[in-house]
């Protein structure tokens, strides 16, 4: 307060004193008037709003509505803005005020998110209280530059035989998981995350437009496999604002990048980008952007490219962290050449194609090796796998060709019959129940056994038991631990190691077949 008794002397001196005292009292605060634009909502549609009066708002800037809801400035047109809503449309009314924030939309990042289920803005959806985040980062970020990247050279083991052996994925790679409805796309992604329990790789599962029960199943699987402690689940449900579904993968990538910048390896799953593309199409049509092919807006390719460009293996100078992306795409009636699938096939470094034809035959995981490829994973594949990997594709493709001939009841020569038997055994050996990732050495031994003909004579129904016996034999042999470690470190399998695992496999097979014949004996005795 200003004390009038201190303002003595002439009026001019008094005025000067007053100014000095006022300045002191305000502590040097900048009290100049500021102009703030306040916009007005003029139109509301499901998921978007048209706003006028914010002439200086920038693209991608977050704006706040009178209801407290947030939106992203998406279309800048003279005199009006197209805003994508990240809040329910119900809270908004035409005529509401809209304020600028001068920032872009950000999400919390840091260790506190691990083990949590969050929405696309990083707000908790589990009942575990507030998230004490280390900070927040904008959801859009530049992809790492070429000079900050290194070659993809380390394997990202999924624990799935068909993938690790034949379509290997490397850390920092983008591998598409593509297939029709209910072909096991989500299961592949979940198994890959479950396999990271002991690898130190952080998993992020970003569910876009999935049904609640499907997401609950994924969370339950991660919890049951002890993988949740090192994972984040982001959920943008189909019933929420489409804007949330649209920003979810970018937000999840921002959370991942925080760990990558600290030298960690992260695996991120986008389940699925078909629904992401649909959310963006919906928003674009409501914003009256010109529709292009299949009514998608012209920039849909860029929308996905700029997202997946953020996956990287960083150079040692940048800490050497990596972000591996597994985007999921749903095809319709196996149509790989639809617009969104072709876009994503060209953006990613390969695809795991899941075939409904194999699903109908009960072949799970339904990986069609003929249509699956990993364009960089081969370099990153652990060398021990390479010894078996090359042949599997050839054996299976020859087998499938022969199989289609054999159906016609042609008489077959011995060589063809042997090949058919081998092919059937190898295909059966690639089967694997979901939620059971397998360690590398056990995978290699089972596949070596199948390729080496140990499973040839066995009835297809008995092959899972035979494989189980082989795996148990490997697991029980403590001498093989150093070999398993060597494989994990990227060593190749020496000839003697190869012989010793095959001997173990043979012994295990003998035990299985003698047990089986004993049982057979019991039955005939009875
Ligand atoms: N390895 C497997 N062994 C046995 N069954 C499996 C395997 N993988 C997936 N399934 C089964 O196949 C069905 C579909 O799996 P999943 O939900 O992973 O497929 P999806 O392609 O993600 O389906 P959607 O198109 O609905 O998202 C489920 O019932 C699942 O239990
Ligand atoms: Mg799914």
Look at residue 14 and tell me if it is in a domain: no
Ligand 1: does its nearest atom lie under 6 Å from the Cβ of 435?
no
What residue spans of 309-439 are helical by DSSP H? 339-347, 356-360, 377-380, 383-406, 414-429
Look at residue 26 and tell me if it is in a domain: no
Is 375 in the active site?
Answer: yes
Domain limit, last residue, from 89, 104, 119: 104
Ligand 1: does its nearest atom lie under 6 Å from the Cβ of 184?
yes
What pLDDT is stored for residue 1 in this prediction?
47
* Annotated catalytic residue, options 80, 375, 386, 492: 375
Give the ligand at the shortest distance from the Cα of 185.
1
Look at residue 65 and tell me if it is in a domain: yes
Q: Are residues 474 and 516 in the same domain?
A: yes
Q: Are residues 492 and 369 in the same domain?
A: no
Ion ligand 2 — residues with CB < 5 Å? 185-186
Ligand 1: does its nearest atom lie under 6 Å from the Cβ of 274?
no
Q: Are residues 189 and 281 in the same domain?
A: yes
Asked whether the beta carbons of 63 and 238 are under 8 A apart, the reply is no
Q: Are residues 314 and 412 in the same domain?
A: no
Cα–Cα distances (Å) from 210 to 181, 303, 330, 336, in that order, read: 12, 20, 12, 21
Between CA 151 and CA 161, with CA 156 as vertex, the angle to 5 degrees is: 130
Q: Are residues 251 and 291 in the same domain?
A: yes
Q: Which of 192, 434, 437, 464 to mutate to test the pocket of ligand 1 (most atoms within 8 A of CB)?
A: 434
Domain limit, last residue, from 380, 412, 430: 380
Dump pLDDT digits (tens) for 22-45. 778 777 666 677 778 899 999 999
Q: Are residues 375 and 427 in the same domain?
A: no
Cα(384) to centroid of ligand 1, in Å?
29
Residue 69's CATH number: 2.40.30.20
Ligand 1: does its nearest atom lie under 6 Å from the Cβ of 281?
no
Residue 513's CATH number: 1.20.150.20
What pLDDT is stored for residue 94 in this prediction?
96
Q: Are residues 189 and 55 in the same domain?
A: no
Look at residue 409 and tell me if it is in a domain: yes
Look at residue 11 and tell me if it is in a domain: no
Residues 6+ apart with CB under 8 A from 84: 47, 48, 71, 72, 74, 242, 243, 246, 283, 287
Cα(184) to centroid of ligand 2, in Å?
7
Look at residue 28 and tell me if it is in a domain: no
* Cα within 13 Å of Cα(42), Cβ side: 11
Asked whether the beta carbons of 333 and 172 are under 8 A apart, the reply is no
Look at residue 25 and tell me if it is in a domain: no
Give the ligand at the shortest distance from the Cα of 434.
1
C-alpha dihedral, 113 to 116 to 121 to 127, nearest 10°: -130
Cα(113) to centroid of ligand 2, in Å?
24
Ligand 1: does its nearest atom lie under 6 Å from the Cβ of 186?
yes
Q: Are residues 398 and 358 in the same domain?
A: no
Ligand 1: does its nearest atom lie under 6 Å from the Cβ of 331?
no
Between CA 394 and CA 403, with CA 399 as vertex, the angle to 5 degrees is: 155
Atom from ligand 1 closest to the CA of residue 330: 25
How many structural domains is the chain composed of? 3
Q: Are residues 97 and 225 in the same domain?
A: no
Dump pLDDT digits (tens) for 85-96. 999 998 899 999
Cα(243) to centroid of ligand 2, in Å?
21
Q: Are residues 76 and 191 in the same domain?
A: no
Ligand 1: does its nearest atom lie under 6 Å from the Cβ of 185?
yes
Look at residue 474 and tell me if it is in a domain: yes
Q: Are residues 96 and 144 in the same domain?
A: no
Residue 244's CATH number: 3.40.50.300
Low-confidence ranges of the chain (pLDDT < 50): 1-2, 4, 6-8, 524-526
Asked whether the beta carbons of 61 and 100 are under 8 A apart, the reply is yes
Domain range for 402: 389-525
Residues 6+ apart with CB under 8 A from 269: 189, 192, 193, 203, 204, 205, 206, 325, 326, 327, 328
Domain limit, last residue, from 65, 84, 104: 104
Cα(285) to centroid of ligand 1, in Å?
32
Q: Are residues 476 and 416 in the same domain?
A: yes
């Amino acid at each position: 307060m200003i004390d009038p008794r201190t303002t003595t002397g002439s009026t001019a001196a008094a005025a000067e004193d007053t100014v000095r005292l006022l300045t002191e009292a305000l502590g040097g605060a900048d009290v100049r008037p500021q102009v703030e634009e306040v916009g007005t909502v003029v139109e509301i549609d499901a998921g978007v709003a048209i706003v006028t009066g914010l002439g200086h708002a920038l693209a991608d800037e977050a704006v706040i509505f009178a209801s407290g809801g947030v939106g992203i400035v998406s279309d800048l047109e003279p005199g009006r803005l197209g805003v994508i809503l990240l809040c329910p449309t119900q809270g908004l009314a035409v005529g509401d005020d809209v304020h600028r924030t001068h920032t872009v939309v950000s999400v919390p990042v840091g260790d506190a998110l691990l083990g949590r289920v969050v929405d696309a803005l990083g707000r908790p959806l589990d009942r575990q209280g507030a998230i004490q985040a280390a900070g927040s980062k904008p959801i859009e970020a530049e992809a790492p530059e070429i000079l900050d990247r290194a070659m993809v050279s380390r394997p990202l083991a999924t624990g799935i035989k068909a993938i690790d052996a034949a379509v290997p994925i490397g850390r920092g790679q983008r591998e598409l998981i593509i297939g029709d409805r209910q072909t096991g796309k989500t299961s592949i992604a979940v198994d890959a995350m479950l396999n990271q329990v002991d690898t130190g790789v952080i998993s992020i599962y970003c569910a876009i437009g999935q049904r609640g029960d499907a997401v609950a199943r994924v969370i339950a699987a991660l919890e049951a496999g002890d993988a949740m402690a090192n994972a984040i689940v982001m959920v943008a449900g189909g019933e929420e604002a489409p804007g949330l579904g649209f920003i979810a993968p970018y937000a999840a990538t921002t959370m991942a990048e925080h760990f990558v910048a600290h030298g960690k390896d992260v695996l991120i799953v986008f389940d699925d980008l078909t629904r992401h593309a649909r959310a963006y199409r919906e928003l674009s049509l409501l914003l009256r952007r010109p529709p292009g092919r299949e009514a998608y807006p012209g920039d849909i390719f860029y929308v996905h490219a700029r997202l997946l460009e953020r996956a990287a293996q960083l150079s040692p100078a940048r800490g050497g962290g990596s972000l591996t992306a597994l985007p999921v795409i749903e095809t319709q009636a196996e149509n790989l050449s639809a617009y969104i699938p072709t876009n994503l096939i060209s953006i990613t470094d390969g695809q795991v194609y899941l075939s409904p034809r194999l699903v109908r035959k009960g072949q799970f995981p339904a990986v069609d090796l003929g249509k699956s490829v990993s364009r960089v994973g081969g370099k990153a594949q652990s060398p021990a796998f390479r010894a078996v990997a090359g042949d599997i594709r050839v054996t299976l493709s020859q087998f499938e060709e022969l199989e289609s001939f054999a159906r016609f009841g042609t008489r077959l020569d011995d060589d063809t019959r042997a090949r058919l038997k081998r092919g059937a055994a190898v295909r059966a050996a690639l089967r694997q129940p979901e939620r059971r990732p397998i360690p590398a050495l056990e995978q290699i031994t089972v596949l070596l056994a199948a390729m080496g003909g140990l499973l040839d004579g066995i009835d297809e129904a008995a092959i899972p038991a035979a494989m189980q016996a082989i795996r148990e034999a490997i697991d029980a042999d403590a001498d093989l631990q150093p070999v398993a470690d060597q494989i994990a470190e990227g060593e190749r399998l020496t000839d003697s190691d190869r012989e010793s695992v095959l001997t173990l496999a043979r012994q295990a097979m003998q035990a299985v077949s003698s047990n089986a014949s004993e049982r057979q004996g019991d039955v005939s005795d009875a």
